[in-house]
């Protein structure tokens, strides 16, 4: 070996070591360990040190911005609003209870004035006091950040119109009047809003300290008011929640939570996520168990598996405004050509429940509709009667499974009843804005809806009110427009209290739109899975219609 | 030498500008939808969408948008349209996983590629050469995503074994053993293609070089066989391998190990690029393009310098 080559090898080894050292330096982004100090109190007596979860990527970790289930489910124990949901299993979980407010608001007779009082001695996780004016600041912050939630606040006085805060973003929202000394918050509305209390329980109305920058703070955790606070968050990688040291059970209507610490690892691949839990490297799998592993999970790990159906509806939107589906017989034909059970078993691995309702089960307004039966011969006959047989139908759907396979099923059934479907499969990034644009002239579409809050307004007004049809960014993608039903929706929107009579009226809206006018083809409430590690005590499992798996109530064997 | 480096730097800058501009044009022309609508969400108001559009200058001419995007990229303030996350921060966060994957895989593929090439050339025509040739061709033909999924299925998901971790990245500093075990399968999956390819190229080069006049002269002079092979044959045969390695390594460091990173959920720069393309999210696409171009240009300069070292007849001018 010559001197030169020996030197070269030494340099090579040093270079390799330097590279490894660099990697070591770069790789320091892991979670800092915490002793899991239990500054907050617990009211269940089942506390334990750490909950290790496999989670999906939250869109944000900032209450004025996040909108996905992944963010909502983990953060509902972090930030709080004036109102929140009761932590209870089943439909009881849809009940609103006061969180930061000491009681439910006093609402004026005309429904346009709401008065709240904050609880005494509320503190953020950094020790600062919670002020009434922080609520106003939080709503204004949402507008300044162009939050996806600002549309919900349009009824508050001073928000809408040319000089409204939504347009100018200057000054303050005049319809929110706060008094820090008395801890009072008064909300004035332009018109009565039936779902206003539910809107105030949305994450977009959660309270953050005044002065929090009006920009995404996901990676700079905002002080919290709930039992937990975010200790760290690395986007797409993981998060750690620890107890809020200043919580002191300040929201008695919300459980203090059992785990002292929650360590979340973000894994978007359902197979890898499932495997982590199987090998007991994690306690919970947020991702749905993959279809091909479901039989194994249902037999080998059946005690660790729960199948749930949250508030969602999968439906085919038919464009009621243009041929062929401006003809009621053509729409009825599609209703009869769809076999929900075939979709559920063939596309979704059996994880779903057939439906003909637009509202999901579990709502007090839900009354089961039984109007359609799968009958291809009858469907063909209806197409002939409608005079639309042989027409071309532009069918739209996302280009990824299972939605793609689902859309292909629709196209296949349309062929069978005498149409000539033309399939358009689009990236999810552009799908909803494409079908929401009237210029697209989509005739039949795959679509779905997951509740923002458990109120029929979130379904019928947002998605099927003909008065809300827009040229672009149209959520009523089927252009459903039944004047008598529109009128009823407008009337019901103003009613804040959901009495049995009001619930029956909402049920009739569902029945009229789905059965009488056959405007839309709902076929499934999709189910999903909660899969747990062997150390988790399943007797504590609580599933709420709003909060999903209530991880704060979990306990270990 | 200094003028060579300066010229290459100027060239690199021009390449960066050209590549970024072309990438920008391609993705602006693709119907990627309205970023303002994607940020605002399905329940947004028209006012909300308009505000976002103004904030992002989406109504400005495309060259102004390009300039604004490049300015915010180089000032470190560029954010994703779909997640609002800072692009530079996300690329930095992906670098440890990408570098760990690429350096480890490169060591494996370079070592075994050279080994396979030498053995194959030295034993040319014999059964060992034939076996290696078949294995190399199989290695070249195996799609990375299939190989990765099979490796996970066989060794991490209990069919029949489950002794390897099933994807994910563990930082070296938090757990060196976890770092190693999580990367072992991705290293081999990424390296196998290159081992086969490098082995074939090196075999061919060695067989060409071995018949050169200067090799015959060295043998005639009575130099030991090992010395002839290492000093005269291998050194000259390695020159094309250096070029290949430089460009391949730059490409995988620059994010083209997309499939390996995605299959093994490594969340490196390649994974980030794949997510961005899937979401038609222009800012991260631009960020990753600039990052990849930088490494490709850098390594092509390094390759030129290595050429000069390996073959004194070549001087960077």
- Residues in B touching A275 (Cβ below 8 Å): 156-158, 162, 166
Helix, strand or coil, per DSSP, at residue A473: coil
Substitution target in B34, B39, B44 with the highest count of A β-carbons within 10 Å is B44
Please indicate whether, in this complex, the C-beta atoms of B166 and A427 are within 8 angstroms of each other.
no
Residue B296: pLDDT band (50, 70, 90) is confident
Could you say which residues from 219 to 258 on chain A have a Cβ atom under 8 Å away from some Cβ of chain B? Answer: 219, 234-237
User: Tens digits of per-residue pLDDT, A89-129?
Assistant: 988 899 999 999 999 999 999 999 999 999 999 999 999 99
Residue B317 has pLDDT above 70, yes or no: no
User: Tens digits of per-residue pLDDT, B76-129?
Assistant: 888 888 777 889 999 999 999 999 999 999 999 999 999 999 999 988 888 888
Q: Which residues contact B19 (CB under 8 A, 6 or more apart)?
A: B289, B290, B293
Buried b (16+ CB within 10 A) or exposed e, A143-178: bbbbbbbbbbbbbbbbbbeeebbbeeeeeebebbbb
- Residues in A touching B166 (Cβ below 8 Å): 271-272, 275-276, 279
Q: Are A192 and A110 in contact (CB under 8 A)?
A: yes
Residue A130 has pLDDT above 90, yes or no: yes
- Residues in A touching B152 (Cβ below 8 Å): 271-272
Buried b (16+ CB within 10 A) or exposed e, B168-177: bbbbbbeeee
Min Cα separation B193/chain A (Å):
23
Residue B280 pLDDT: 82
Residue B32 pLDDT: 63
**Percentage of residues in chain B having pLDDT higher than 90:** 25
**Percentage of residues in chain A having pLDDT higher than 90:** 77
In angstroms, the CA A529 to CA A305 distance is 7
Residue A343 pLDDT: 96
Residue-wise DSSP of B279-314: TT-HHHHHHHHHHHHHHHHHHHHHHHHHHHHH-TT-
In angstroms, the CA A262 to CA A268 distance is 18
Q: Measured between alpha carbons, how far is residue B126 from residues A218, B121, B123, B131, B137 in Å? A: 62, 10, 6, 9, 17
Residue A488 has pLDDT above 90, yes or no: yes
Residue B311 has pLDDT above 80, yes or no: no
Could you say which residues from 181 to 220 on chain B have a Cβ atom under 8 Å away from some Cβ of chain A? Answer: none
Q: Are A72 and A281 in contact (CB under 8 A)?
A: no
Chain B: residue nearest A22 by CA? B96
Residue A14 pLDDT: 39
Q: How far is CA B218 from the centre of its chain?
A: 39
Residue A240 pLDDT: 97
Residue B316: pLDDT band (50, 70, 90) is low
Q: Are A487 and A284 in contact (CB under 8 A)?
A: no
Bridge-based pairing of strands A184-188 and A113-117 is: antiparallel
Q: Are A419 and A394 in contact (CB under 8 A)?
A: no
Residue A254 has pLDDT above 90, yes or no: yes
Please indicate whether, in this complex, the C-beta atoms of B152 and A272 are within 8 angstroms of each other.
yes
Of residues A433 and A243, which shows the higher confidence score? A243
Substitution target in A5, A279, A293, A430 with the highest count of B β-carbons within 10 Å is A430
Residue A534: pLDDT band (50, 70, 90) is very high
Min Cα separation B65/chain A (Å):
20
Whether residue B260 lies within 8 A of chain A, CB to CB, comes out as: no
User: Which of the residue ranges A402-406, A547-551, B191-195, B255-259 would you say has the lowest mean pLDDT?
Assistant: B255-259
Substitution target in A23, A140, A396 with the highest count of B β-carbons within 10 Å is A23
Whether residue A27 lies within 8 A of chain B, CB to CB, comes out as: yes
Mean model confidence pLDDT for chain A: 89
In angstroms, the CA A63 to CA A205 distance is 8
Bridge-based pairing of strands A106-107 and A259-266 is: unpaired
Q: Are A119 and A391 in contact (CB under 8 A)?
A: no
- Residues in B touching A60 (Cβ below 8 Å): 83-84
Q: How far is CA A243 from the centre of its chain?
A: 25
User: Which of the residue ranges A44-48, A278-282, A321-325, B190-194 would you say has the lowest mean pLDDT?
Assistant: A44-48
Residue A44 pLDDT: 58
Q: Which two tokens stand for residue A355?
A: 């439906």
* DSSP state, residue A326: T
Q: Are A485 and A513 in contact (CB under 8 A)?
A: yes
- Residues in A touching B95 (Cβ below 8 Å): 26
Residue A268 has pLDDT above 70, yes or no: yes
User: Tens digits of per-residue pLDDT, A22-59?
Assistant: 333 333 333 333 333 333 344 557 999 999 999 999 98
- Residues in B touching A265 (Cβ below 8 Å): 168
**Percentage of residues in chain B having pLDDT higher than 70:** 96
- Residues in A touching B56 (Cβ below 8 Å): none
Q: What is the side-by-side strand order in the sheet with A184-188?
A: A106-107, A113-117, A184-188, A176-179
Residue A153 has pLDDT above 70, yes or no: yes
Q: Are A419 and A389 in contact (CB under 8 A)?
A: yes
Please indicate whether, in this complex, the C-beta atoms of A23 and B103 are within 8 angstroms of each other.
yes
**Percentage of residues in chain A having pLDDT higher than 70:** 92
Q: Which two tokens stand for residue A86?
A: 């009761």
Q: Which two tokens stand for residue A257?
A: 């939570």
Please indicate whether, in this complex, the C-beta atoms of B43 and A462 are within 8 angstroms of each other.
yes
- Ordered domains of chain B (ranges, CATH): 2-75 (no CATH), 90-314 (1.10.3720.10)
Candidates A28, A148, A154; nearest CB to B171: A28
Q: Are A243 and A37 in contact (CB under 8 A)?
A: yes
C-alpha distance across the termini of chain A, in Å: 64
Residue B3 pLDDT: 77
Residue A441 pLDDT: 94
Q: Are A158 and A139 in contact (CB under 8 A)?
A: no
Helix, strand or coil, per DSSP, at residue A358: coil
Residue B243: pLDDT band (50, 70, 90) is confident
Whether residue A377 lies within 8 A of chain B, CB to CB, comes out as: no
- Residues in A touching B38 (Cβ below 8 Å): 429, 433
User: Which of the residue ranges A37-41, A246-250, B133-137 would you say has the lowest mean pLDDT?
Assistant: A37-41
In angstroms, the CA B136 to CA B144 distance is 14
Could you say which residues from 281 to 340 on chain A have a Cβ atom under 8 Å away from some Cβ of chain B? Answer: 281
- What are the backbone dihedrals phi and psi of residue A221, each rounded to the nearest 5 degrees, phi first? -50, 130
User: Tens digits of per-residue pLDDT, B167-177?
Assistant: 889 999 989 99
User: Tens digits of per-residue pLDDT, A187-245?
Assistant: 999 999 999 999 999 999 999 999 999 999 999 999 999 999 999 999 989 999 999 99
Residue B314 pLDDT: 65
User: Which of the residue ranges A170-174, A202-206, A384-388, A469-473 would you say has the lowest mean pLDDT?
Assistant: A469-473
Of residues A262 and B253, which shows the higher confidence score? A262
For the stretch A538-544, contacts whose Cβ atoms lie closer than 8 Å and that sit 24 or more positions apart, written own/partner, are A538/A303, A538/A304, A538/A306, A540/A46, A540/A258, A541/A306, A542/A87, A542/A88, A542/A89, A543/A89, A543/A90, A543/A306, A543/A308, A544/A85, A544/A87, A544/A88, A544/A89, A544/A90, A544/A93, A544/A94
Candidates B33, B55, B99; nearest CB to A146: B55
pTM for the full model?
0.81
Q: What is the mean pLDDT of residues B219-227?
A: 88
Whether residue B242 lies within 8 A of chain A, CB to CB, comes out as: no
Q: Measured between alpha carbons, how far is residue A136 from residues A42, A127, A171 in Å? A: 30, 20, 12
Count of residues in chain B: 317
Residue B5 has pLDDT above 90, yes or no: no
**How many beta-carbon contacts under 8 Å exist across A and B?**
142
Residue-wise DSSP of A231-251: EEEETTTEEEEEE-TT-TT--
Candidates B40, B47, B55; nearest CB to A166: B47
Residue A470: pLDDT band (50, 70, 90) is confident
Q: Are A8 and B72 in contact (CB under 8 A)?
A: no
Whether residue B227 lies within 8 A of chain A, CB to CB, comes out as: no
Residue A19 pLDDT: 41
User: Tens digits of per-residue pLDDT, A380-418?
Assistant: 999 999 999 999 999 999 998 899 999 999 999 999 999
With 0-12 / 13-18 / 19 or more C-beta atoms within 10 angstroms meaning exposed / middle / buried, residue B6 is exposed
- What are the backbone dihedrals phi and psi of residue B307, each rounded to the nearest 5 degrees, phi first? -55, -50
Residue B306 has pLDDT above 80, yes or no: no
Whether residue A385 lies within 8 A of chain B, CB to CB, comes out as: no
Could you say which residues from 118 to 157 on chain B have a Cβ atom under 8 Å away from some Cβ of chain A? Answer: 152, 156-157
Residue B159: pLDDT band (50, 70, 90) is confident
């Amino acid at each position: 070996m010559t001197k030169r080559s020996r030197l070269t090898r030494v340099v090579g080894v040093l270079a390799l070591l330097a590279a490894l050292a660099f990697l070591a330096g770069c790789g320091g982004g892991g979670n800092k360990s915490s002793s899991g100090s239990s500054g907050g109190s617990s009211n269940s007596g089942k506390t334990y040190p750490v909950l290790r979860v496999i989670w999906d990527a939250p869109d944000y970790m900032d209450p004025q911005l996040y909108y996905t289930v992944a963010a909502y489910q983990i953060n509902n124990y972090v930030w709080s609003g004036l109102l929140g949901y009761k932590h209870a299993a089943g439909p009881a979980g849809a009940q609103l209870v006061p969180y930061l407010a000491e009681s439910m608001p006093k609402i004026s007779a005309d429904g346009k004035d709401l008065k709240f009082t904050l609880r005494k001695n509320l503190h953020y996780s950094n020790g600062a006091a919670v002020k009434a004016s922080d609520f106003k600041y939080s709503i204004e912050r949402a507008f300044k950040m162009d939050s996806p939630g600002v549309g919900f606040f349009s009824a508050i006085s001073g928000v809408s119109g040319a000089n409204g805060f939504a347009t100018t973003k200057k000054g303050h929202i005049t319809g929110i009047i706060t008094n820090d000394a008395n801890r009072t918050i008064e909300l004035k509305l332009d018109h009565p809003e039936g779902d206003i209390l539910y809107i105030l329980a949305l994450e977009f109305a959660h309270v953050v300290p005044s002065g929090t920058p009006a920009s995404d703070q996901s990676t700079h955790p905002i002080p919290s008011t709930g039992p937990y606070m975010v200790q760290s968050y690395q986007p797409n990688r993981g998060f750690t929640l620890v107890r809020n040291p200043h919580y002191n059970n300040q929201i008695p209507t919300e459980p203090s939570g059992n785990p002292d610490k929650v360590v979340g690892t973000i894994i978007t691949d359902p197979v890898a996520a499932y495997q982590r839990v199987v090998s007991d490297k994690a306690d919970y799998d947020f991702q749905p168990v993959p279809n091909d592993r479901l039989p194994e999970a249902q037999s080998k790990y059946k005690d660790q598996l729960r199948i749930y159906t949250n508030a969602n509806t999968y439906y085919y939107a038919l464009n009621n405004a243009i041929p062929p589906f401006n003809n009621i017989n053509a729409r009825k034909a599609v209703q009869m050509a769809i076999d929900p059970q075939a979709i559920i078993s063939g596309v979704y691995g059996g994880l779903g429940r057939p439906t003909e309702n637009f509202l999901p089960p579990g709502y007090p307004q839900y009354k089961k509709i039984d109007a359609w039966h799968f009958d291809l011969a009858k469907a063909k006959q209806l197409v002939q009667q409608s005079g639309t047989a042989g027409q071309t139908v532009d069918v739209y759907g996302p280009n990824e499974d299972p939605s793609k396979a689902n859309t292909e099923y629709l196209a296949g059934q349309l062929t069978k009843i005498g149409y000539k479907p033309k399939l358009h499969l689009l990236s999810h990034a552009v799908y909803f804005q494409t079908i929401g644009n009237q210029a697209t002239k989509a005739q039949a579409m795959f679509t779905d809806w997951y509740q923002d809050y458990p109120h029929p307004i979130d379904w019928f007004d947002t998605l099927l009110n003909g008065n809300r049809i827009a040229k672009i960014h149209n959520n009523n993608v089927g252009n459903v427009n039944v004047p008598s039903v529109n009128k009823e929706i407008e009337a019901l929107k103003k009613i804040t209290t959901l009495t049995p009579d009001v619930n029956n009226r909402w049920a009739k809206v569902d029945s009229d739109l789905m059965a009488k006018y056959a405007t839309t083809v709902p076929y499934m409430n999709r189910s999903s899975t909660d899969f747990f590690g062997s150390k988790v005590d399943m007797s504590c499992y609580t599933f709420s219609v709003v909060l999903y798996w209530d991880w704060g109530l979990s306990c270990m064997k | 030498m200094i003028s060579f480096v300066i010229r290459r730097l100027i060239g690199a800058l021009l390449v960066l500008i050209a590549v970024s501009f072309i990438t920008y044009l391609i993705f602006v022309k693709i119907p990627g939808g309205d970023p303002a609508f994607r940020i605002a969400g399905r329940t947004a108001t028209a006012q909300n969408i308009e505000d976002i559009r103004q904030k992002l200058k989406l109504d400005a001419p495309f060259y102004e948008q390009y300039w604004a995007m490049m300015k915010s990229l180089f000032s470190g303030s560029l954010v994703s349209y779909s997640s609002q996350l800072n692009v530079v921060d996300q690329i930095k966060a992906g670098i440890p996983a990408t570098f760990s994957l690429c350096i480890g895989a490169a060591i494996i593929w370079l070592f075994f590629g050279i080994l396979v090439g030498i053995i194959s050339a030295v034993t040319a025509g014999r059964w060992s050469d034939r076996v290696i040739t078949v294995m190399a061709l199989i290695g070249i033909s195996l799609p990375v995503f299939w190989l990765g999924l099979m490796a996970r299925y066989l060794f991490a998901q209990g069919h029949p074994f489950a002794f390897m971790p099933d994807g994910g990245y563990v930082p070296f500093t938090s757990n060196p053993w976890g770092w190693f075990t999580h990367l072992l399968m991705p290293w081999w999956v990424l390296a196998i293609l290159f081992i086969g390819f490098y082995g074939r190229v090196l075999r061919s080069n060695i067989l060409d070089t071995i018949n050169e006049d200067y090799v015959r002269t060295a043998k005639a002079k009575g130099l030991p066989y090992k010395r002839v092979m290492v000093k005269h044959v291998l050194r000259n045969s390695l020159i094309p391998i250096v070029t290949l390695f430089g460009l391949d390594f730059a490409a995988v460091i620059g994010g083209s190990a997309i499939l390996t990173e995605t299959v093994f959920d490594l969340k490196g720069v390649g994974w980030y690029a794949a997510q961005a393309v899937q979401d038609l999210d222009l800012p991260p696409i631009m960020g990753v393009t600039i990052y990849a171009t930088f490494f490709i240009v850098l390594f092509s300069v390094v390759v030129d310098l290595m050429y000069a070292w390996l073959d004194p007849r070549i001087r960077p001018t």
